[in-house]
Structure 1
Amino acid sequence: MIRKLSHVSIYVLNQDSAYDFYVNKLGFTVHTDAPMGPGMRWLTVCPPDQPELEITLMPIEEGIIFKGDAAAQMRELVKQGTFGFGVFECNDLNATYEELKAKGVVFKKPPTREFYGYEALFVDDSGNWFSLGQKK
């Protein structure tokens, strides 16, 4: 029986830039930053209140996952903002929105009340977009 999800991957254009974004702008904690063979790096971060969930910042490179032209195609799709990867929660959306905006996080939608809750939409430095919500 499956008990839980421990890792999820976000495809990024550059791991160093993604490290800066997720750690220094979003305030995530680095769980693992280790070499994995020639030119490879295993980099995972965690939301501060959820250390059991590792987010792998996965570079888009030709190799095991992407064959032939697939890496270039995937990089282009990520740059275009094709992927919405998740929903992050916070206690005070307005305060978090202002804090992240001041750190340079780009928001596609300011805090807005919707039928399903209160949310803002932002993109990471690669183009992946996320919802940032506040629980009622």
Structure 2
Amino acid sequence: MIKISSVQLWVHDQNAAAAFYTDKLGMELRSDVTVPEMGDFRWLSVGPVGQPDTEIVLMAIPGLPVMDEETGAQVRDLMSKGFAGTVFLTTNDVQAEFEAMQARGVEFVEKPAQRPYGIDCSLRDPSGNHLRLTQLIEPK
């Protein structure tokens, strides 16, 4: 069986991203390792409390030789529009999570609304990455 262990999001500022995902969304810091031998490459990841096998890697947009300036600019542009990736989060009570996150300063793009699959809302992280928070309805 294959399992997903980590996914990666590009971020403008790793410190700001880590603070958002931990302080605002309530995730926990999983790893924060800087590798000097790789040009001070930083592996920074967070994950949902109670899901130790799943993490989101908050990856800085690299420069040369990994990514040329034109490609980096395109990635930053897509991020600013919310189109560089989406993280889907689920909860048993989207309204309660929405209110708790709002109280912690999270700004939502869409408020909770009923959909055919459940109740969901939309928010973006400080880098512009799109997140959806959903309370799924059990199929009948």
Say yes or no: TM over 0.5.
Answer: yes
How big is the shift at 1:84?
4.1
Could you tell me whether the CA contact under 8 Å between 2:75 and 2:84 is conserved in 1? Answer: no
5+ residue gaps in structure 2? none
Residue 45 of structure 2 is matched in structure 1 by 44
Distance in 1, Cα, partners of 2:65 & 2:90: 33
Q: Answer yes or no: is 1:53 the counterpart of 2:58.
A: no
Distance in 2, Cα, partners of 1:133 & 1:104: 19
5+ residue gaps in structure 1? none
What is the one-letter code of the residue matched to 2:13? Answer: N
Could you tell me whether the CA contact under 8 Å between 2:117 and 2:136 is conserved in 1? Answer: no
Q: Percent identity?
A: 35
Residue 87 of structure 1 is matched in structure 2 by 88
Could you tell me whether the CA contact under 8 Å between 2:8 and 2:59 is conserved in 1? Answer: yes
Residue 33 of structure 1 is matched in structure 2 by 32
What is the one-letter code of the residue matched to 1:31? Answer: R
Distance in 2, Cα, partners of 1:45 & 1:63: 26
What is the one-letter code of the residue matched to 2:32? Answer: D
TM-score normalised by length of structure 2: 0.89
SS at match of 1:61: coil
Aligned length: 135
Could you tell me whether the CA contact under 8 Å between 1:62 and 1:70 is conserved in 2? Answer: no
CA deviation digits over 1:83-105, x for unaligned, max 9?
34121011211111011111111
